[in-house]
Structure 1
Amino acid sequence: MKHELIGVGLYTPSEAGRLTGTASGKISRWLKGHDANGKHYDPLWQGDIPTDDGPVLLSFRDLMETRVVNAFITMGVSPVRMRAALNLAREVIGASHPFSTNRFRTDGREIFLHVIEDDENGEQREHLLNLFRRQYSFREVLDPVLRTVEFDDGGNPLLWWPRGRRTNIVLDPRRSFGAPIEATTSVPTEVLAEYAAHQGEAETAIAYDVPLEAVRRAVEFEQILKGPMAA
């Protein structure tokens, strides 16, 4: 593993899709660009990990950006407007991954409204103005995505507690390449769940020196990942 990848997190589109509830093919298109209907579409944003002609890989910041982009597209924001909003947000916020920053909580609504008002598609403009006219409507999209994230002093995502702090399961790009871990011991939830499937939860707790409840939470978390998971 190259030294520059240490501490940034590392996820395949499939892993990122499981964690964020986003189709892996969609993630690949967002980060690598694609051709459709005779037209080329550039990446929605420049990922932290260069892909060149190789496989797409996401950093922790890319993962957090994916969650926000997916939330807005799910609510009906078109990819065209997402691209325009991302470009404007990069200028306003001054960050390569603006949607996942803490500052986007306050500036994001105005950024989207600016993009919508400048758009010439009247029908979709009215739809999106209705969506973002009130502050609470915007926060209904954004707050569930960002409230489980801890930010550093610069407003950049630092940790993600995907099921909330009470589960003690965290994604920390500085530990285990950003894989979900039991926060106190740093044991990956996948390791705990797999061992428990063969040896039982009590034996797993003893073998990895973690509380029994931590094993049960890890098992539950990994079961959730096997099905649809909300971002």
Structure 2
Amino acid sequence: MESNDLIGVGLYTPAEAGRLLRVPAQKISRWLRGHNINGREYPALWEPQVSLGDDRVYLGFRDLMEVRVADAFIRAGVSAVRVRAAIELAKEVIGQARPLSTNRFRTDGREIFLHIIEEDEDGEQRERLLNLFRRQFEFKGIIDPILQTVDFGTDGIPLVWWPAGRRLNVVVDPARAFGQPIDADSSVPTAILASAAKQEGGIAAAARVYDVAESSVRRAAEFETMMEQRLAA
């Protein structure tokens, strides 16, 4: 895949993805490469968006969102085996190669549900939840808070992610800076603004160098500090 092909796709190593998601890089690599435990083969959960032809694992933005949801399900008590099964079932239902990254999923910690909007013969719509394992409809609403920091298109596909919530105005957008965290207003990567604040003698100086608001530099520095603290934890 050429660099021009990565525009709108994003590019992350497992280490970069792990830093953003708080998921160990080794786990991400296992999920996307497959692995062997005690002689038993576990296939990759899905095929990554990005291949640079060097036999290393890379992620695109959709992969990033997919890992985020898969990890949330596992943390909620759903086994990795059931997550894999849910992915395969959901591919059939909604016709998406990376269904976990759409806005249709919910979990109650035991089962995984697919959010369906049905339209009756009178044109009225209603929302239902399809239990992917029981293959029956459930009517209990289940809210997954991780969806609140993602902006979705009308087709349910993730467009951008606000990794620290919307307060810091830091966005991960595959159409800008190859999906690296950026200041949403200026599109300057947060790592660059935070580094400039240290090297240029403070927030005001960095803001002048990059022609951005001081608040942008301040929020970028806060975000990068938060990322560093995550790595140290």
For 1:214, which of 213, 216, 226 is the aligned residue?
216
Identity among equivalent positions (%) equals 50
Aligned to 1:122: none
| 8 Å contact from structure 2 (residues 168, 223) kept in 1 | no
Gapped regions of structure 2 (runs ≥ 5) = 107-112, 116-128
Count of residues in correspondence between the two structures: 209
Q: RMSD between aligned alpha carbons? A: 2.2
Gapped regions of structure 1 (runs ≥ 5) = 118-132
How has the CA–CA distance of structure 1 residues 176 and 51 changed in structure 2, closer, same or farther, with 3 Å as cutoff? closer
Tell me how far apart the structure 1 counterparts of residues 181 and 206 of structure 2 sit (CA, whole Å): 17
Q: CA deviation at 1:112?
A: 4.4
Q: CA deviation at 1:19?
A: 0.6
For 2:114, which of 91, 95, 107 is the aligned residue?
107
- Higher strand content, 1 or 2: 2
Tell me how far apart the structure 2 counterparts of residues 195 and 94 of structure 1 sit (CA, whole Å): 45
Tell me how far apart the structure 1 counterparts of residues 103 and 194 of structure 2 sit (CA, whole Å): 33
- Higher helix content, 1 or 2: 1
Of the two structures, which has the highest relative contact order with CA contacts closer than 8 Å and spacing of 6 or more?
1
Deviation digits for residues 102-122 of structure 1 (CA, Å, limit 9, x no counterpart): 23357256344528x9xxxxx
How has the CA–CA distance of structure 1 residues 112 and 226 changed in structure 2, closer, same or farther, with 3 Å as cutoff? farther
**Structure 1 residue matching 2:171: 3-state secondary structure:** strand
Aligned to 1:228: 230
Aligned to 2:169: 168
Q: CA deviation at 1:31?
A: 0.6
Q: CA deviation at 1:202?
A: 1.2
Q: CA deviation at 1:49?
A: 1.3
Q: CA deviation at 1:211?
A: 0.9
Aligned to 1:11: 12
Using the size of structure 2 for normalisation, the TM-score is 0.82
Q: Does 1:71 align with 2:72?
A: yes
